Amino acid sequence: MGQDIEWFDHPGGEPAVVVPASPRWAEEAADWLRRIGEALAEPAVRLEHVGSTAVPGLPAKPVLDLLVAVPRLDDEASYRPALESLGLVLRAREPGHRFFRPPAGEPRTVHVHVCEAGSVWESDQLCFRDALRADTGTARAYARLKQPLAATVGHDRAAYTSGKSEFIRSVLAECRFGAEEAP
């Protein structure tokens, strides 16, 4: 795990389990995004369903990844109380990103990632999701990587994340190259 990440509580402990895609993920994400939008006193610049559960047909851990882009990430008072009112807790603080999820011991059903609008973090999340949505071959390759990886790492979510890193970096490099080539 990155040295510049400030963790609250101990991360991990739950198995990395990849399950078949569910059509309910989109509905559940829309409900969470609506609730987050209503709870925020200062509207978010962007609310998005990202990650594997946002890609139709892609097997994934049954945990929704939601992106909340705010005007100023360091102004935690503008979003943290709202997210906490929904039963989420701040689990990690790192440069460019805040990570919220249900408290330890409760089912991990959603991850809320807060970033600054217009940031590289925001762009990377959207680019990766959109690349998987646009290219079924890339999505299938990602699924072929994730399923056996989850089966071998057990409860080591950090190893699961690390095992996907090179694939993600290569997709993001293609996204950036494509963006540079666009007129």
Question: For all residues of the chain together, what is the average pLDDT?
Answer: 90
Q: Is the pTM of the predicted complex or chain greater than 0.85?
A: yes
Specify whether the CB–CB gap between 142 and 98 falls below 8 A. Answer: no
Q: Are strands 64-70 and 46-50 parallel, antiparallel or unpaired?
A: antiparallel
For residue 47, pLDDT over 60 is answered with yes
Q: Which residue did the predictor score with more confidence, 106 or 170?
A: 170
Q: Are strands 110-116 and 97-101 parallel, antiparallel or unpaired?
A: antiparallel
Which spans in the chain are helix H?
A: 24-39, 80-85, 120-134, 136-153, 157-181
Q: Which residue did the predictor score with more confidence, 54 or 180?
A: 54
pLDDT at residue number 176: 81
Query: For 8-20, what is each residue's pLDDT tens digit?
Result: 665 556 778 899 9
